[in-house]
Each structure stands twice: as structure tokens, then as C-alpha cells.
Chain A
Amino acid sequence: MSFYRPPRVPASQITPEHCFLSRRSFLAAAAGGALAAAGSAAFAAPLTASKSQYMVDETLTPEKDVTSYNNFYEFGTGKGDPVANATDFKATPWTVKVDGLVGKPKEFGLEELLALPLEERVYRMRCVEAWSMVIPWIGFPLAALLDKVEPLGDAKYVAFETVVRPEEMPGQSGFFQPLPWPYVEGLRLDEARHPLAILAVGVYGKTLPNQNGAPIRLVVPWKYGFKGIKSIVRITLTDKQPPSTWNLSASNEYGFYANVNPEVDHPRWSQASENRIGEGGFFGANRRPTLPFNGYAEEVAGLYSGMDLRANF
């Protein structure tokens, strides 16, 4: 009796995943818009990064959930809207202008930012809507970028701004505009310089999908997710506390600091616990207690010593 024996492929002949994936993205890019529009995954090219010491030892939220359950109102207010509506968004070419109270204002090209030493950081992400994820970001400390522009002595805050492209971002056009554009956010300079604050350019080993804030976004893991401004085009150092979009929209519900705090409720819901997305399913208890500063109190609580966190929510 003869058996079929599958051919054995020597390991040396197997194309590494990142090669065939980059070949694929090259082909997709070469084929132009038609292919690119076929799926946002086409933009997600592999990205190499070194491991960092910041790895939360908790189960990662599945990539499918991280890239399909998003709040990105520029593409619509539903959680599934960003992944559905972000396919036409062009994340390259891209520049980020860094200006204001700095010695060396500069417009950075995306390539330049991607050439910075990239690290993988597994962070908890706590949304102000009382759900959370554990996400493997790839990025670099925001401080690394700030160092390059040499902030002046009177710079106290960092302001961020998202791109405005109504033709590519359906949530920015049409009759119903949920928020004023551009989306803006801000940090105190010492918060911005904290080693935990990063600019992410990738997630799950690839460049950021459009719905996650391609090509570059802020990640501040001890604050509510809305502080993590996406698709950043401008970073300005100032001496005054900059405006932030959700605070402008409802100042009694969303503060400038927006530090994760189980003790201070959102006026319409409790912040004491959170739903971990992708865990527990339909019948399992996936609600867990929310930690002060989202579990990063040891690292960041010192930034706020002596401050009334109830007043500065």
C-alpha cells in the first residue's frame, strides 16, 4: 500500500512571514487604490520593535477586537463604524508638525518617526465608557520626540491635533457632526515626558490600522482612552492648559486630566468596574474592578501629589 507523502519543505525555503507580507503590501500599493480599498488590513505592514519592560502580564485582547471595536468619531459614532468607514483614509504620506514654545520647531516625516527606536508595550486601555482592553502597542516615548525640538523653559503643556479630512473621514462631513473638529487633546508637560506616555505607530506587530489612529497616535495608559488622540498632525507646546475635545463637548463629564479613577464616577455611570472586551463572552463574568490610574499608580501617582483628584477629574 502506498501512502501519499506531503513534500517536506526545508525551513530555509519557507518565506518569513514579514517578507511575504511586505511583498503583499508592496503589490497592494503598486496596484493602487483599488486594492488598498479592499481592506484596511492592507495598510498594516509588519513592524519590528524591541521588547520593553512595560509588559502587563494579562491576557491580550484578541487582535480582531482591538481592530474592530473602536471609538474614532471621525469615522462614525458606532463601535464598528471606524473599521467599516476608514478604508479610504490615506495614512501615507504623513507629517507631524511640532511647534510652539520650542527651540527647534520641525515638521517630521513619518519615515523619520518610524526610524526612531521602537518598543513593544503591552498596556491596559481603559475607556471612559467602562470597558477595557490589553493591547500590544508599538511606539516610542513621547519624550523622545519632545527632546528633538528642545522645549523652552516656559512650556508647561503639550497640545495635540488630529487631521481634518472630511473627504476621507465620513464622520467629519454631512448633516450630523457629533463633535467639533479637529479633535484636540492635551497633557501637562511632565505627564507628556513620563516614560509611560508613548506615541504609537503600530499594534500587534504591524503598523496601525486606520481605525486605530493611523499612522501615529498618543497612548497614555493611566488615562481614559479618549486622551489617546489619533492620526496626529500637530503637536504644540504652550504655557496655557490646552482645550480638549470631550471637555469642550461636556465639561461636567470629561475633565482635562481624565485619569482613570474608580472613586470618581462619570455622572451617568460608575467607574468602579469595567468590562474586559473579548473575555467572558456572553454568560461569563467579564466585569472586573477598575484600578486607580488603571493599575499604573506606582509609576504616575507622584505626578498628582497634593492635587484634589475629585476636582481635577
Chain B
Amino acid sequence: MAGLPALPRKYHAASIWLLYAVGLLPAAYGFYLGATGRLPGNPVKEFEHLLGLWALRFLVLALAISPIRDLFGINWVRYRRALGLLAFWYVLMHFLTYMVLDQYLNFAAIITDIAKRPFITIGMAAFVMLIPLALTSNNWSIRKLGPRWVRLHKLVYIIAACGALHFAMAVKVVGPEQWLYIVLVLLLLAYRLIRPMLRGKKRARPQATSVRGQERSA
């Protein structure tokens, strides 16, 4: 598919920095609204939920990069690290908001929550798994770890599943918004399962035609 005009290479770095800047806007705007008393009702919860939701959105976008490349021929792999790191920053802010603004550093309550509430345990597990991914997101780690880096970063599949589950388990009634993220994550993970088969076909097909071609010429 030859759809989008390719971005000239000289703008690549700038576009990545722009993504970081734009990606942090929802958090900045939400914080501004909260700090100036413009968030309605329960401002801390509103802000906490906004951060969690954007974390999930960035995770889904990061997971969508390779299917988009495979299926539509659009290569946005250069944005994947920024999307993953944005997801990490949002999860970190989500957790800090819960810890500081919501629970007011009541560590006993926080630890009980993490230990006793399955949806918080799952959310916390996702956060913990994101830490090594964020720490090894630099070029040096990629070179140093080699194939182990790829294996380590497959953790993102588990993290995204935990994120969607955490969201669905946190609400009183699982509604369309929660189902949307569950379905998106399931589709993106299912794609990873069927990708080897798709790849296999792609590789097999030109061979098959050439064989047939030989037969015909023979």
C-alpha cells in the first residue's frame, strides 16, 4: 500500500521529539485543570483515571506499530520507543498520583491495596514489568543485550494484557470503553500469534510461483 508520503529523513528526529511533547500534553493539561480547581467532583480520581487511560492508549499504539508496518507497509518503528516510554511515564504518574494525592502516602493502606486487591496487584505488576523495559530502552542496552533484548521486551505483551484487565476490573460495570481496550489488546496480541503463519506464506509464495514458472517453461 503506497499511501502516505514518506517523511523526509531530516525531520525524523524532530518528529520523535514532537511526539514526546504532544504525548505529555494530556497529563500537563489534566494537572493544570486539577491544580486550578477545574476538575469536577473528585479531582484526584479524575486525574488518576486520565493518566491510567493514556498509559493504556500509548501501550496500544506501541503494539500497533509492527502490524501497521506489516499490513499497510507504513514504517513508524522510529516512534515505538517514544510510545513505550510515554506509556511508562504515564503509568509512573498514575501510580504516583494514587500514592501521593489519593492515599496521601499512607503506606500501610497502599501495601494492603497492592497485596489484597487483585486489580491493583495486576496494575502494580504491569508497572514493575515496565521498569526494566524503560531502563533498557536506550541504544546502548539494545546493542549490549542483543537477542536477549528482544526476548525481554516481549514482556510488553503481558503488560498490555495486565493494563486492559486492570482497567476492566477497576470499574463497577464493565462497559463499552473497557471492552474496547480488551478487544484492541486481544487483537494486537493475536496478531503476534498468527504473524509467523502470515510471514511463512509470504515467503513461500514467490518460491511457489517460481517453481510453477519453471514447470511451465520446462
Question: Which residues in A have some Cβ–Cβ distance to B below 8 Å?
Answer: 65, 68-69, 73, 77, 79-80, 129, 131, 175-176, 178-179, 249-250, 265, 267-270, 272-273, 275, 277-278, 281-283, 285-287
Contacts and interface: CB of A to CB of B under 8 A. Distances in A.
B121 to A, nearest CB: 11
27 contacts: A65-B41, A69-B40, A73-B173, A77-B173, A79-B41, A80-B40, A80-B41, A131-B42, A175-B176, A179-B173, A250-B172, A265-B116, A267-B117, A268-B119, A269-B117, A272-B109, A275-B44, A275-B45, A275-B102, A281-B37, A282-B37, A282-B39, A282-B43, A282-B47, A286-B44, A287-B102, A287-B106
B42 A277 contact: yes
Contacts of B35: 282-283
B15 interface: no
Interface string B54-87: 0000000000000000000000000000000000
B173 A282 contact: no
B36 to A, nearest CB: 8
A270 B39 CA distance: 24
A195 to B, nearest CB: 31
Contact of A68 (B37, B41, B103, B173): B41
B29 to A, nearest CB: 14
A273 B109 contact: yes
Nearest to A250: B172
Nearest to B113: A270
B173 A275 contact: no
Contact of A281 (B43, B103, B109): B43
Given A268-B170, A275-B44, A277-B42, A285 B104 contact: yes
B141 interface: no
Interface string B100-142: 0111101001001100111100000000000000000000000
Contact of B101 (A270, A278, A283): A283
A287 B112 CA distance: 17
Chain B interface size band reads: 20 to 34
B169 A282 contact: no
A272 B112 CA distance: 12
Nearest to B170: A268
B101 A176 contact: no
Contacts of A79: 40-42
Given A129-B172, A268-B119, A282 B42 contact: no
B175 interface: yes
Given A68-B41, A178-B175, A287-B106, 6 more contacts: A73-B173, A178-B173, A249-B173, A275-B102, A283-B35, A283-B101
B23 interface: no
B35 to A, nearest CB: 5
B41 A69 contact: yes
Contacts of B169: 268
Nearest to A179: B173
A282 B34 contact: yes
A282 B41 contact: no
Contacts of B47: 282
Nearest to A178: B173
4 shortest A-B CB distances, which residue pairs?
A69-B41, A178-B173, A282-B34, A285-B104
